Amino acid sequence: MSVQGRAASAKKAQRRQSVELLAPRGRTRLLYLIVALLSLVGLADAVYLTIKHLTGESARCTITGGCGEVLGSAYSTVGGIPVAGLGALAYFTVFSLATLLLYGYRSARLLLTIVVGLMLIATLWLLSVQAFILHKYCEYCLLSAAITLALSGIIVALHFNRAKE
């Protein structure tokens, strides 16, 4: 192997080692894993609602009974795009960023915080629409809201955990 080849191999090994050193451990790793798993549940919920919206089918609401009204309202789309589709994109982004963070890509931390923050703002708006304008609730939307609130709490916990490190 040439000197240049050995130097390139050494640089690759050093890069791999530095990524491993950046990989979170302990509580931080567990929290990123929970973020990834929660985002998959949110993604499944949002994809289901997007499919229902695009096919024109009604989502079956067994607890709250207001799914049809909420999902058929003018608030269920933004510029012709289903809000649930935007939610699916957001949950997929959160899953991807949490996975990157699990593998040590710390630069994804700020973007994860921003995306979850935007999701929280959208969730609070959509909850207020259900409560104060429509006076109806969609259980799938409430599940998504609960997941987003949990993700927000975990992001805050991660920032406090990082401050301790």
Write the DSSP assignment of 88-152 as a string of letters: HHHHHHHHHHHHHHHTT-TTHHHHHHHHHHHHHHHHHHHHHIIIIII----HHHHHHHHHHHHHH
Q: What is the pLDDT of residue 25?
A: 79
Specify the number of domains making up the chain. 1
What kind and span of H or E run contains 81?
strand 81-82
103 within a domain of the structure (yes/no): yes
19 within a domain of the structure (yes/no): no
User: What does the alpha-carbon distance between residue 54 and residue 157 come to, in Å, rounded to a whole number?
Assistant: 37
70 within a domain of the structure (yes/no): yes
| Mean pLDDT on 66-91 | 94
User: What does the alpha-carbon distance between residue 29 and residue 98 come to, in Å, rounded to a whole number?
Assistant: 10
Question: 75 lies in which domain range?
Answer: 24-164
Q: Using one digit for the tens of pLDDT, what is the confidence trace for 24-51?
A: 678 889 999 999 999 999 999 999 999 9
CA 119-87-83 angle, 5° bins:
105
User: What does the alpha-carbon distance between residue 104 and residue 8 come to, in Å, rounded to a whole number?
Assistant: 22
5 within a domain of the structure (yes/no): no
Look at the block and give the residue holding tokens 């990834």.
36
User: Is pLDDT at 108 greater than 60 in this prediction?
Assistant: yes
What CATH number is given to the structural domain containing 139?
1.20.1440.130
Q: What is the pLDDT of residue 144?
A: 98
37 within a domain of the structure (yes/no): yes
Whose CA is closest to 121, among 147, 98, 149, 142?
149
9 within a domain of the structure (yes/no): no
pTM of the predicted model as reported, rounded to 2 decimal places: 0.84
Inter-CA distances, 85 with 89, 108, 138, Å? 6, 23, 16
36 within a domain of the structure (yes/no): yes
56 within a domain of the structure (yes/no): yes
